Chains A and B, each alone.
Chain A
Amino acid sequence: MRERPRLALALLAVLLAALPFLIGTGLGNSWVRVLDFVLLYVLLALGLNIVVGYAGLLDLGYIAFYALGAYLYAWLASPHFGLHLPFWMVLPLGAALAGVFGVLLGAPTLRLRGDYLAIVTLGFGEIIRIFMNNLNAPFNLTNGPQGMNLIDPVSIGGVSLGKSLEVAGITLPSTYLYYYLFLAATLLVIVVAMRLQHSRVGRAWAALREDEIAAAAMGINTRNVKLLAFAMGATFGGLAGGLFAAFQGFISPESFTLWESILVLCMIVLGGMGNIPGVILGAVLLTVIPEALRYIGDLQRATLGQVVVDPADLRMLLFGVALVAMMLFRPAGLLPSRQRKREFSAQDGVAEQEQASLYDTKA
């Protein structure tokens, strides 16, 4: 019995290792770039999943941590300040900075829940973006809306991932190299997220999500546990941000809009909040589908002879339709966790109303 999962795991490993080659030859190298972005979004979604899926705290400003990681990378490894620190120093620093800001955001919002928390976090996300947009004067910290350029690529053992690499007669383009780096980061984050979920800390988050009063009555320091969730989620966001900056070589505030926060939230809702395979699936679908819909223009030209509907408009339309259909047919997500499955099976409504009553008197 134990042989089969092991075999499946080995097959999965081979598939993941060969994936850029399969996609590169099958669909063209631009799709390997999409694949890299898929992994970045998986990282982001896994981080947000800790805050929203595990601890039940709705965060609409998550992309701010991605921005912080990216900007710190740019500050410490680009001509902007003339600093060129190695990635193994900059990435952890970016993740740590984001983690600190996670706590800074968490601390004033401890008493808020649900919609109110969402509004404050949304504001936080916008504040960070607007700061990045305007901090080019009096002191040029972020280069404002122009963004920061010529960010150092990741370089491992003297080998830069920003250029093609020739190994045993095979040329590996930069996008392939980053794929393996991102894959390593993603696997690391998956392991961390899984271990956290099934630990004392993960149970405390789940308890917090289920019933904050009962969690406190079980001796859980709800303040610390919430701050920890914000910090852990933000750390993953900061890590993804650093990788993004190195990969793109260029960042500007445009990459960190509210839309991005909502997109990442959509990924975990679509895939199945709280469930790691579901979150990954959601991130893959919501990155790949919009890219695939770009081909609708070509399709129209081929079948109708001209472009009738602008693909950019159609993309958003179909995206919206897909989300609505999703919420109608699988409201708990494509691969829901057992908790979400039950929440949406709509029983025990009365008991939950009773539970809500104590919150009102406490606030």
Chain B
Amino acid sequence: MSAPALLQVSAVSKRFGGLAALEDVSLSVGRGEIYGLIGPNGAGKTTLFNCMTGLYDLSAGHIHLDGAPLHGRKPHHIVEAGFARTFQNIRLFANMTALENVMVGRHPRTRAGVLGAVLRTPGARAEEAAIHNRARELMEYVGLKNKGRTLAGHLSYGDQRRLEIARALATEPRLLALDEPVAGMNPTERRQMSDLFLRLRAGGLTLLLIEHDVKLVMDLCDRVAVLDYGRKIAEGEPALVQRDPAVIAAYLGGDEA
């Protein structure tokens, strides 16, 4: 390792009763990288995301973001540390407007409490205005400029994915973890999304990506790790990983060799 990694996952295991969902998984994501996490269904990709973001407790292992431990911390601490995520099956606040969803994302970076809200202190008012402005900027950034007043649940599928990203960006992450962000999208939408990812990276963000779309992964990712049955079976540049016999076996289910 030359430069210290932004995200360091060391020997993480996660067991649900007798089932080992993750077994001794280690990986490191460098600053400014787009890092892909691929593998067959049930390989443990989302479980790893849930472990990293504090939704699951680890059975063993350590996770560090920029040297600070994330393991054993609450989800909101992890967001505060600069690690935001989206969900595989879209978890927007469906009955709030799109703009309100993004405004919720400003929560960890703002302060106003009950007193500020009730008394409408100048500080609280200024903060509220700043939250509003930032949320609108982010909506525009992901291409949802005029959808602010629509209920999140009424947005089209692709727009919901975009909104989830805007909401995650509102927390000012250093690392953004996206769980199948282009699943179910058509080729045009996919292209727009990969443009968005490149713009985000150009803005200094590090991306961690779970994705099934091989072409997208090959085009976009600097490095990928392959999970199968909870173990990391390969890691490296996409083009090399693609030719790895273990990876081919995992995907084709073959017992070649």
Residues of A in contact with B (beta carbons under 8 Å apart): 191-192, 195-196, 199-204, 206-207, 210-211, 213-222, 228, 232, 338-339, 342-343, 347-348, 351, 354-355, 358, 361-362
Contacts and interface: CB of A to CB of B under 8 A. Distances in A.
A211 B91 CA distance: 7
Contacts of A191: 118
B95 interface: yes
Dominant SS among interface residues on chain A: helix
Given A201-B117, A207-B104, A348-B153, A213 B91 contact: yes
B128 interface: yes
Contacts of B96: 203, 206-207, 210, 339
Nearest to A223: B74
B56 A196 contact: no
Contacts of B114: 196, 201, 228, 232
A219 B108 contact: yes
Contact of B124 (A199, A203, A338, A342): A199
Nearest to B109: A219
Given A213-B91, A338-B95, 7 more contacts: A201-B113, A204-B104, A216-B54, A220-B104, A221-B74, A232-B114, A348-B153
22 contacts: A195-B120, A199-B116, A200-B131, A203-B100, A204-B104, A207-B93, A207-B107, A211-B92, A214-B87, A214-B93, A215-B104, A217-B85, A217-B87, A218-B79, A218-B107, A218-B170, A219-B108, A342-B151, A351-B90, A354-B89, A355-B91, A362-B55
Contact of B92 (A214, A221, A343): A214
B41 interface: no
Interface residues of B, number: 48
B129 interface: no
Contact of B93 (A196, A206, A222): A206
Most B C-beta atoms less than 10 A away, residue of A200, A216, A232: A200
B130 to A, nearest CB: 11
Contacts of B92: 211, 214
Interface string B73-105: 011100110001101011111111000100111
B239 interface: no
Most A C-beta atoms less than 10 A away, residue of B53, B87, B93, B167: B93
Contacts of B109: 219
A61 B133 CA distance: 40
A206 B107 contact: no
A88 B120 CA distance: 23
B110 interface: yes
Most A C-beta atoms less than 10 A away, residue of B106, B107, B153: B107
A44 B50 CA distance: 40
Nearest to A361: B16
Given A195-B117, A214-B91, A348-B94, A220 B110 contact: no
Most A C-beta atoms less than 10 A away, residue of B87, B124, B170: B87
Given A211-B91, A217-B79, A232-B114, A203 B55 contact: no
Nearest to A339: B95
B104 A203 contact: yes
A273 B74 CA distance: 31
A217 B105 CA distance: 9
